Amino acid sequence: MSRACSFRRSLEGFLQHIRPRRNHQLLMLGLAHKQLGKFSSLSVASDDQDVILITETWLCEDIDSLELFDDRYLVFRRDRGSSSDSCRRGGGVFIAVKKCFNPCILDLPGSDLEAVWLSIKLNHRQKMLVCVVYFPPSSRADTYVEFFDCFENFGFFDNILICGDFNLPIYDDFGNNKNPLVIELSNFVNLYNLAQFNNTFNCNNKFLDLILTDIDFSHISVWHSDKPLVPEDKHHPALSISISFVADHPNRKNVNISRYDFRRADFLTMWCFFREIDWSFLLNFNDIDKAVFSFYDCLNDVFSRTVPLRQTVTRRFPFWYTIETRRLLKRKARVRRFALKCVNPDSVDEFRALRSAVKYSIQKDYNTYLRLTEKNLISNPKKFWSYFNNTKHNSPNSLYYNNVCYENDDDIANAFADYFKSVFKPSSNYDIKNEFKSNCVGDLVKIDSVTYDDVVLAIKELKSSLTVGVENIPSFIIKGCAEFFIYPLLILFNLSLRSNVFPYVWKQTRIIPVFKKGDAQDCKNYRPIAILSPMSKIFESIIHKRLFHQVKNLISPSQHGFIPKRSTATNLFCLTNKIISSFQIGSQLDVIYTDFSKAFDSIDFGILLNKLHGLGFHVNLTDWLHSYLCNRSLYVYFNNAVSREFSGTSGVPQGSNLGPLLFILFINDLTSVFKYSECLLFADDLKLFSSMNSNLDAVLLQSDLDCLFKWCTVNKLHLNIEKCSILSYTRKSQPLNHVYKINDLVLSRSDSVTDLGIIFDTKTDFSQQINSMVSKAYRRLGILKRKTKEFSSEIALKVLYYAHVRSSLEYCSIIWDPIYRNKIEIIERIQNNFLRYLLYKKNGIYLQDVSSSYLRHMFNIPSLCSRR
């Protein structure tokens, strides 16, 4: 292994205590609304800091870290929880670190300290422990001792950097201070050979903010920053930190990947080349895989002559920076290095002038970007929504899987592949054809061929996108040149059906890991998003329509998932009717809520094909479906790194058109095993329920539960029994509380349960649902306001409100629609708040005394109550 080249550079850090003050009017809707705007990514980017440490952030979970900094940074936060011993409001710390330092969180489960600990890599050999901490005033001695003791858990680090507000009366040094807490701090400093480098006194000639490190004094500089992120608190001067270290040259691996740049394609020439191709040669093939490869050879020949290549490179700056801004930033960096090397007043003045120029240029670029984004609502809606939704979560620089930490992109991609592969199970493997020939019961469902019109309609319904699958062809090319693709695709589709083989290249799937929630460095907190071939999507769309038309009457009426004219609302409406009917006759309805573990990924191929045969699928169709399901090749794509391939040995293909239909056909016979109770399904979401008039009814419901477990065992699906629960809907003063079991494990009994996104309680007054919904809507409204500070278009603001806020207030409203005036008004207040925001955008001032009916009329937005 070659030794990494190195050079000396500095890590630029920044520490500030940003407690909001009354005169700043920072609190809005209970959130640090204006504070958020003050230390946005613009302020950070202007000084190009590597590490930003902030104490007393006053942030809460409603504010996403992606709202604070651009995607060059990873943000690690510790917000003050409601259970804090100190005052409920305020507090909190965070560290924002550039990704190039490979930050890794060091967690201490069970600790209530307002602190964040990180490991960052300065080079391939040197790691540094970075900590930011905040001690509220009058913190107890055991809180300080707990913090000092934490460092015994972190093992060895080359260097330590601890920054934060210790709230201790330190005037000069530790030696002459008789305060017992300062003595404890002094002992800790001596134990780890640390020194205090903050020499900037506050207004009381004290150091409340300390910078403790074991770095040699010749390699660290700390000074009072003349560019704080927010207006300074006189008790907490903003501090700049510069640490000199030997750094590796940037690793350029995976940055020079060439791809077709279809945005700059010569479409006229491409159209002419496609027109000249005689696709009839495909009729000579009997092997579908060879035919598909020849088809792609022709396409790639055209693309090589009409589509330029582009290099995929790692982006150093936000994409909306102009060339001029990037030049200024590079020049500023050069001048700064020179100014640090040889202290020259002229260089320092030049650096300050450049810093101001950079800040102005970035603000100008950002305002231009926002104006274009606002206009994109009409011309390019996808760009508009990508800005608002923050769809791209920051990719982690390190990842944990099975207690192993991975830091290289290739290793991270392979770790994701290992995790996604682990959910699959071995499927039954036997001769499908012989099995079916000996047990044939009929050929009611079959597809012999597809028609020209089928292909035309499927291409028309294909979503236009620049996203590419394995074959690197975006769907918008197929739609734009549809007249040239219809005939070759018709030939290939029919050859596939005749040979009962699904093309292998269309079974290759690119997997993109998408963060769900929780620890972003835990592999298990990501879900796979499958990117399929657009050709495969067209083919599957045709097969799905033909299949569904033939099997729709075989699907149980209890199934509400993936069925036209059925939805979560119809599912919950059926249950609500049963509950109300039970109340009306003074009875009790026991509902058992179940939870299947990764049901879609666990479908056994052999069992599925047997069931399809039993439903009357022709042997040729089942052979084709066997080819479609088996030997699917998947790989993970992460930061331009590609994992090793792995096979999906079970489950229906994710992201496919056929997958959901095959799943509901697999689970379709489940409803027939229940003899004494009723059930409702939404895909794999199962509810089992029965009226309770005596203990015998409960015994019969338990009997059906036993049948459910037996069915799961036979069909190789796993129930998460710990997540299954029982809810008894009744208005009786003494309900029947029977103990239900699955596989001898007692089910938990609850007072409320979240069913398909709606919170049900035993009395069905939906108070919890309304409170939860309102809280969620306020969070979304807060995000909307923060995201649209610079917007002025009434149309854009209304569209955002309709899609992002009002939609959450109307989801399944037929179920929970309140009849009491106070609950109706609680919901209406959210829209009234938005209406006043619209008026503020129009007039520039907030008016609280304007009637909501006047505002609704002004902006032509009906009340939420009238829409329900």
pLDDT tens by residue, 449-491: 999 999 999 999 999 888 888 888 999 999 999 999 999 999 9
Strand 741-742 versus strand 209-213 pairing type: unpaired
- Which pLDDT score, from 0 to 100, does residue 680 have? 98
Cβ-contact 285, 491 below 8 angstroms: no
Q: How would you class 61 by CB atoms within 10 Å of its CB: exposed for 0-12, middle for 13-18, buried for 19 or more?
A: exposed
* pLDDT above 60: residue 821: yes
* pLDDT above 60: residue 418: yes
Q: What is the mean pLDDT of residues 87-97?
A: 79
Instruction: Select from 59, 45, 127, 67 the least CA-distant residue to 91.
Output: 59
* pLDDT above 90: residue 315: no
The more confidently predicted of residues 261 and 89 is 261
- Which pLDDT score, from 0 to 100, does residue 317 have? 79
Tokens of 210: 């300390």
Task: Fill in the DSSP letter of residue 249.
Answer: P
390: phi then psi, degrees, rounded to nearest 5: 50, 50
Fold classification of 23-244 (topology level):
Deoxyribonuclease I; Chain A (3.60.10)
Match 């590796």 to its residue by tokens.
248
* pLDDT above 60: residue 154: yes
Q: What is the mean pLDDT of residues 694-710?
A: 96
Instruction: Select from 128, 119, 131, 39 the least CA-distant residue to 78.
Output: 131
* Distance between CA atoms of residues 402 and 231, nearest Å: 45
* pLDDT above 80: residue 86: no
Q: What is the mean pLDDT of residues 16-36?
A: 43
Neighbours of 822 (CB within 10 A): 7
What phi-psi label fits residue 642: left (phi over 0), alpha (psi between -120 and 50 degrees) or beta?
beta
Q: What is the mean pLDDT of residues 503-530?
A: 90
Q: What is the mean pLDDT of residues 594-610?
A: 95
- Which pLDDT score, from 0 to 100, does residue 62 have? 74
- The 10 Å CB-count burial string (b at 16+, else e) for 686-708 is bbbbbbbeeeebbebbbebbebb
Packing angle, helices 452-461 and 534-551, rounded to 10: 110
- Which pLDDT score, from 0 to 100, does residue 748 have? 95
Q: Where are the domains of the chain?
A: 23-244, 452-761, 768-859
Q: What is the mean pLDDT of residues 348-365?
A: 85
* Distance between CA atoms of residues 128 and 595, nearest Å: 44
* pLDDT above 90: residue 404: no
Tokens of 574: 């059926």
| Lowest model confidence (mean pLDDT) among 71-85, 115-129, 517-531 | 71-85
* pLDDT above 60: residue 25: no
Strand 633-638 versus strand 508-515 pairing type: parallel
- The 10 Å CB-count burial string (b at 16+, else e) for 236-254 is bbbbbbbbbbebbeeeeeb
- Which pLDDT score, from 0 to 100, does residue 827 have? 95
- For 632-645, the DSSP string reads -EEEEEETTEEPPP
Cβ-contact 135, 84 below 8 angstroms: no
Instruction: Select from 5, 555, 8 the least CA-distant residue to 244.
Output: 8
CA angle 392, 394, 396 (to 5 degrees): 135
* pLDDT above 60: residue 38: no
Percent of the chain with pLDDT over 70: 89
Strand 27-28 versus strand 31-32 pairing type: antiparallel
* Distance between CA atoms of residues 122 and 780, nearest Å: 38
* Distance between CA atoms of residues 63 and 297, nearest Å: 50
| Lowest model confidence (mean pLDDT) among 85-89, 789-793, 835-839 | 85-89
- Which pLDDT score, from 0 to 100, does residue 253 have? 45
Instruction: Select from 623, 189, 215, 669 the least CA-distant residue to 446.
Output: 623
pLDDT, tens only, 221-273: 888 887 787 778 888 888 988 888 776 655 444 445 678 889 899 999 999 99
Please name the residues in contact with 413: beta carbons below 8 A apart, sequence gap of 6 or more: 636, 637, 638, 639, 641, 642, 643
- Which pLDDT score, from 0 to 100, does residue 16 have? 83
| Lowest model confidence (mean pLDDT) among 40-54, 418-432, 789-803 | 40-54
- Which pLDDT score, from 0 to 100, does residue 171 have? 61
Helix and strand counts by DSSP (H, E) for the chain: 27, 32
The more confidently predicted of residues 844 and 94 is 94
* Distance between CA atoms of residues 130 and 123, nearest Å: 15
* pLDDT above 80: residue 592: yes
696: phi then psi, degrees, rounded to nearest 5: -65, -40
pLDDT band at residue 177 under the 50/70/90 scheme: low
Cβ-contact 16, 769 below 8 angstroms: no
| Lowest model confidence (mean pLDDT) among 369-383, 585-599, 693-707, 831-845 | 369-383
Percent of the chain with pLDDT over 90: 52
Q: Of the segments 117-126, 358-367, 633-642, 696-705, which one has the largest average pLDDT value?
A: 696-705
Task: Fill in the DSSP letter of residue 806.
Answer: I
Q: What is the mean pLDDT of residues 129-133?
A: 93
pLDDT, tens only, 721-765: 999 999 999 998 889 999 999 999 999 999 999 999 999 999 899
Positive or negative, the CA dihedral 610, 611, 616, 620 is: negative
Reduce the DSSP state of residue 103 to 3 states and report it.
coil
* pLDDT above 80: residue 408: yes
- Which pLDDT score, from 0 to 100, does residue 2 have? 38
Instruction: Select from 733, 738, 720, 740 the least CA-distant residue to 762.
Output: 733
Reduce the DSSP state of residue 704 to 3 states and report it.
helix
- Which pLDDT score, from 0 to 100, does residue 42 have? 41
* Distance between CA atoms of residues 35 and 93, nearest Å: 14
Reduce the DSSP state of residue 246 to 3 states and report it.
strand
Task: Fill in the DSSP letter of residue 722.
Answer: G
The secondary structure element, H or E, covering residue 9 is strand 6-17
Please name the residues in contact with 804: beta carbons below 8 A apart, sequence gap of 6 or more: 388, 780, 783, 784
608: phi then psi, degrees, rounded to nearest 5: -60, -50
- Which pLDDT score, from 0 to 100, does residue 35 have? 44
Task: Fill in the DSSP letter of residue 196.
Answer: E
AA letter at 726: I
Using a cut of 0.85, tell me whether the model's pTM lies above it. Answer: no
Q: What is the mean pLDDT of residues 18-36?
A: 39
pLDDT, tens only, 610-658: 999 999 999 999 999 999 999 999 999 998 889 999 999 999 999 999 9
pLDDT band at residue 19 under the 50/70/90 scheme: low
Tokens of 734: 């003494």
Cβ-contact 217, 195 below 8 angstroms: yes
- Which pLDDT score, from 0 to 100, does residue 537 have? 95
The secondary structure element, H or E, covering residue 438 is helix 432-438
Longest dimension (CA), the chain: 95
Q: What is the mean pLDDT of residues 508-521?
A: 88
| Lowest model confidence (mean pLDDT) among 136-140, 295-299, 324-328, 491-495 | 136-140
- For 377-437, the DSSP string reads HHH-HHHHHHHHHT-SPPPPSSEEETTEEE-SHHHHHHHHHHHHHHT--PPP---HHHHHH
The secondary structure element, H or E, covering residue 451 is none
| Lowest model confidence (mean pLDDT) among 81-85, 216-220, 335-339, 599-603 | 81-85
> Which stretches of 716-806 are DSSP H helices?
767-787, 794-800
Mean residue pLDDT of the chain comes to 86
- Which pLDDT score, from 0 to 100, does residue 174 have? 62
* Distance between CA atoms of residues 543 and 559, nearest Å: 21
The secondary structure element, H or E, covering residue 693 is none
* Distance between CA atoms of residues 748 and 740, nearest Å: 9
Q: What is the mean pLDDT of residues 851-861?
A: 93
Instruction: End-to-end CA distance of the chain: give it in Å, rounded.
Output: 67
Task: Fill in the DSSP letter of residue 575.
Answer: H
AA letter at 851: S
